[in-house]
Amino acid sequence: MQKTILIQNYHPQGTAALIRDFQKAGLRVISPDSDWGRIGYFADNSDLGGELVSLEQYMGMEPGFVMVGCKAQEEDLKSIARQHGDLMVLNIAQQHHVYEPNISDVLICPDIALWNSYPDFFSHRLLYFPRPIIAEVSSKNVLKSFEDRTIASYISIPTFWKRGLPAFENFRSQWQHSCYMFGHQASDGMLSHSECNERMVQSFFTAHFKDDEAYGLSCLESMMLGTPVVSTKEFMEGKTLGECFLTPENSIVTNTVEEAVRALQDLKIYEYEHLSKNAIKTVLDLTSDANTVDKLRAAMNSVIDEIV
């Protein structure tokens, strides 16, 4: 019998990507149709790909799995899972958050530093890079992006990042073309996901200066759309983006903001085309089913075999 996994929205794009992958791995994905009167950290699950069910329907199903998507969900979802007899899958991408020991046999984590350092033992410890879900947007016009020279950043609540915001403002003050910061409480306002993707595909580069970054979903979306990333080593070393995705073949990462600006100014069109093509290829390779879904399927099947 096909096993179910309950997934509650913790971040729309991240949640939708994992719902897609669990479905590919052979599980039936269900999501709460409301907060069930029990889920304090609740966001709407519509249009994310899971089958919406009521609490009554859920309690009538055979036990399966519950994914804990973030720390704010932990207590409520543990309570629901234990009442229903479910096993838990832990998805973590936030530093400094520690969950109940032995909560799960399966860890899904896109943050290489956290994956390496998280103190608990897991039978299946997956460094997991879900492929970003991209909205329907126009195709990349490399020459137009190169000539327009527009750069944008997509970071919410930028004032929270005590090193990142000054670095971006320094970068913007030196860049002699359009340079925007989009996001919640950002200077140029909040965009919808499709609007972000449209901006990304049109832009010259995506600038990313953020003190702490678990995965860098906006950067990976940008790269999938053919728009490279620019940053400095201060914000990339030891991070998933810097250690796994960004290379001199697909991005510009320098020691200082001044060096980054000069590298952008000196870039030739054929070099930009090379970066753009390799940005797409890198993300597609590292987020392929062979590197994600196949490993997830093997882990989940192993756990299922142990309980059957």
Tell whether the model's pLDDT for residue 164 goes beyond 90.
yes
Fold matches, 4-131+288-307 and 142-286: yes
Mean pLDDT for the stretch of residues 92-107: 87
Domain ranges of the chain: 4-131+288-307, 142-286
Give the amino acid at 102: N
223-252 pLDDT per residue, tens: 999 999 999 999 999 999 999 999 999 999
pTM for the whole thing? 0.94
> How confident is the model at residue 274, as a pLDDT?
98
> How confident is the model at residue 308, as a pLDDT?
63
- Helix, strand, coil percentages (3-state) for the chain, rounded to 5, are 45, 15, 40
**CATH class name, domain 142-286:** alpha beta
**Cα–Cα dist 231/23, whole Å:** 35
Is 289 buried (19+), middle (13-18) or exposed (0-12) by CB count in 10 A? middle
Residue 23: pLDDT band with limits 50, 70, 90? very high
**Cα–Cα dist 207/219, whole Å:** 8
Mean pLDDT for the stretch of residues 257-279: 98
CATH-assigned architecture of domain 4-131+288-307: 3-Layer(aba) Sandwich (3.40)
> How confident is the model at residue 212, as a pLDDT?
86
38-69 pLDDT per residue, tens: 999 999 999 999 999 999 999 999 999 999 99
